[in-house]
Amino acid sequence: MAADGFFRIALGVEYKGSRYRGWQRQASGVATVQETLEKALSKVADSPVSLHCAGRTDAGVHACGQVVHFDTQVERSMKAWVMGANINLPHDVSVSWAKVMPADFHARFKAIARRYRYVIYNDQIRPAHLNEEITWNHRPLDVERMSEAAQYLVGIHDFSAFRAGQCQAKSPIKELHHLRVTRHGKMIVLDIRANAFLHHMVRNIAGVLMTIGTGERPVEWMKEVLESRVRRSGGVTAHPFGLYLVQVEYRDEFELPERYIGPHFLTGFSELDG
């Protein structure tokens, strides 16, 4: 129970972010994932629902492992929350699970790690499929160079050089647990896990890695950018369409349901597991 007479419910959520101005509710008439999901859940509850999420994704960014929570006095089965929400949601947002949580659970503040994947389609010809779900780069990318450069970022660092100007995080110091770069045919996947992320951090890292992958800059440029702590030293911010929030981790005591690490079209690549 969250408070007297209230239940705290956590949900697993996935969405295609292409037509939304990000997660966070904005001015009336602006499509956001939060408002879309709150409206659907409010119909199930027959009363207003206000959501808290693990990570506020930007416009155009996707999620297959978002975690949210809300408090309600309404009693519904977990199946009813899932199925009821999905009946009332558009095709590009889906609830995958629901669970009653203890009062001290919070989707954002209790998260101990977050994981993103950035998917690049690397070919001279623009793809007709998945065109809003991957980033296309027509220049040949050297995965070995990108992987070598990525290792400069692993560990505890000041990531100011990869931080958007409007970032509201109190500290630029984050711990990056891993950053793997792998090729799967025409696709290159950046798999990045950290305790927390700054605004645009993954997209700015992706931009630097792709510049190094083309040979335009040396591998050591990643170290120079990191140590500069200046955003303008890092080049372009990569497109949002290839970015996915794929996992949010919590302490074992919360026993949240586990699902595959997405996005869906990558689930057959066993070498990505881990």
Residues marked as binding for substrate? 116
Q: Which helix (DSSP H) or strand (DSSP E) does residue 205 occupy?
A: helix 201-213
Contact status, residue 195 vs residue 262, Cβ threshold 8 Å: no
As annotated, the binding site includes 116
Contact status, residue 222 vs residue 209, Cβ threshold 8 Å: yes
Active-site annotation holds for 104:
no
What is the rounded distance in angstroms from the CA atom of residue 231 to the CA atom of residue 241? Answer: 21
Q: Which of 4, 58, 158, 191 is catalytic?
A: 58
- What separation in angstroms does the CA of 139 have from each of 124, 160, 208, 210, 216? 7, 28, 14, 9, 11
Contact partners, residue 87, CB within 8 Å, separation at least 6: none
Q: How many Cβ atoms are within 10 Å of 269's Cβ, its own excluded?
A: 13
Kindly list the catalytic residues. Answer: 58
